[in-house]
Amino acid sequence: MLAALRPRAGCAAYPKVLAQVTWRRSDMAENCHHTAIDIDDVPKQRPRLPPPKYGEHITVLSIDGAGIRGLIPLQVLKKLEELLKEEEMKKNKKEGENARIADYFDVIAGTSTGGLIVAMLAVPDERSTDMRPRPKYTTEAIEEFYLKNGPGILSPPETKSTWGNLADTCIRPLMIGPKAGPMYDLLRQQVWWPKYENKKLIEAIDTGLNGGPGRPSSLTLGDTVTRVLIPAYDVKKRRVISFTTQTTKKHPDATLAAAYPCSCGTPTPRQSTISLRDVCLGATAAPTFFPAHHFTHGVEEDNNGQPRPREYNLVDGGVAQNNPTLLAIRSMFLEVEGCCECRPPKAINSDFHKDPTEPKPFDIAKCLVLSIGTGSQMKAYEVEQCKNWGLWAWFLDGDHHPLLDIFTSTSSSLINMDTGFLFRLNKCPEKYLRIDLRTCLHIVSTPSYTLMQPVQSVQENNTTVVNEDRTPDMALDAASEDNMKRLVQFGQDLLRDKVKRIITDSRIFIPTALPDGKRNEDELREFAKWLVHERNLRLGEEEKRRKQEEEHAETSAANSSASN
């Protein structure tokens, strides 16, 4: 039995295989509520994506953050998964039926709600019987997870904090008049503690990561079925921490989790077992919405050189990197080029080089990048409206959070422009596809303000026909059943919007529709063909290399036997 499990050349080291098999058995024994598993429920096996050294490109997927608006990129991902299946089924029906997003990307990055989507795309299925488990969820299953858990997660807290109790005792008696009750409730909910508890969020994350209510998920970053990258902001260290899975030259076949603790971005393999649950809780802890998340992992030195537990004090990474596209590209650069010079020896990842003895430099023209946005809740103001604003108004203006909106939307826009310019500069703009709701903004003027809001629209003869009755509320926490349906519909309609790219020739550095009038769905179809071609190319080259190694081993054994 164990001999049958022994990996072929290029697979994980034998002890690692045994560890994975043992983990699945214990995990199933602990978490499974059934005495037997229906054989029809066992996921069909499919080879993992071979390393980039066997192909032509490095494939990258990036997903922005924005609370319940995560339903929007899920519509794009659902369409991509459908297109991948269609393309695979042209040659092999079985391959097509089992296709998953994680089968095609070298790294999947996501901020905030995008990080949760990324984690679920890469969660291993505990029912897998193979030494390398399959992804557990389809994109449709993740959408159902959002629709089911969104309203519960984004519901008002049932208990009060110390500040809330103090407010009840000291402030409420001082508030009189017919508007005192609603005003007090607003203060209590928006000011004295986070708008929502994270109890339901914790339960949902545990359930999504192979745990459940009262059964915390035991998965680590190293358990994911492909590389993931999830940023969060450490409020104590005052920097973005990119939690990611990487392979290193030292461990060519073992997936290690790494965090970037220094400004240079050098990965630290000692962070190899960080809890995926803790990462997701930290990455989704949006300030004012959810409590910050604290956990310890590993050891670090204090100012006196003495060891102490390494602390993480995290809030939502969207405050700094709501669009993680460049972080994902940077992580691939580190895989290709190795660590920076500040922490020698410089080591490259042999999975990214056909000949590790003559490594080639990172080339962005060999990257295929799909970046999916979530739009923004943008309210445009005149100077006269906001010039005298104080702390309260900047943080809360009705249902809007002006300062938070500015941080997240500006970050996403600038990173999109920088990434688009980078690909344009290297004469390969077609290898970067950005699909974002922000390209569908419509200006609505009222006597008090100008609202930049997304609208349901259809392009007819270069004229936008607007259907405002179906326009979704773009608030991060607008998780009513009706609004979630609108977000889903809008994400589907987004696929019919025109492709937009950064055009530098005309000095226009904002996303601009191309003259050919291509739609996002058309470009996504071409992208799916590219991904399928890349995967099949790698599988073929890996199999060819394996046969060559076997023939070489047989020849060496025969020569050795003849000489004896």
Question: Are 368 and 395 in contact, with CB atoms under 8 Å apart?
Answer: no
**65-74, 105-114, 238-247, 327-336, range with the lowest pLDDT:** 238-247
Residue 446 has pLDDT above 60, yes or no: no
The single residue of 64, 103, 112, 371 carrying the catalytic annotation is 112
Residue 82 and residue 327: Cα distance in Å, rounded? 27
When computed from its CA atoms, the radius of gyration of the chain, rounded to whole angstroms, is 25
What is the structure's pLDDT at 176? 47
pLDDT band for position 381 (cuts 50, 70, 90)? confident
Active site residue 316: yes
**112 noted as active-site residue:** yes
In the numeric block, the tokens 């956990």 are attached to: 295
Q: How confident is the model over 357-385, as a mean pLDDT?
A: 88
Domains of the chain listed by start with CATH number:
58-154+213-371+526-541 (3.40.1090.10)
Higher pLDDT, 225 or 377: 225
Q: Give the residues across from 233 on adjacent strands.
A: 240, 315
Task: Quote the pLDDT of residue 387.
Answer: 84
Residue 306 in this model has a pLDDT that exceeds 50: yes
**Residue 559: band (very low, low, confident or very high) from pLDDT cuts 50, 70, 90:** confident
User: And the tokens for 534?
Assistant: 């890349």
Which pLDDT score, from 0 to 100, does residue 492 have? 93
Q: What confidence score (pLDDT) does residue 313 get?
A: 97
How does residue 277 score in pLDDT terms, banded at 50, 70 and 90?
very high
- Distance from first CA to last CA of the chain, Å, rounded? 33
pLDDT at 138: 96
Average of per-residue pLDDT across 57-70: 96
Query: What is the rounded distance in angstroms from the CA atom of residue 111 to the CA atom of residue 280?
Result: 10
Residue in 27, 130, 234, 316 annotated catalytic? 316
Q: Which of 1-5, 202-206, 543-547 has the lowest mean pLDDT?
A: 1-5
Place of tokens 């295929």: 368
Q: What is the pTM of this model?
A: 0.81
pLDDT at 508: 54
Looking at per-residue confidence, does 299 or 396 come out higher?
299
Percent of the chain with pLDDT over 70: 71
Helix (H, G, I), strand (E, B) or coil at 301: strand
**Size of the chain, expressed as the number of residues it contains:** 564
User: What integer pLDDT is reported at residue 157 of this predicted model?
Assistant: 64
Q: 209-219 burial string, b = 16+ CB within 10 Å, else e?
A: bbbeeeebbbb
Residue 140 neighbours by CB distance under 10 Å: 13
pLDDT score at 512: 72
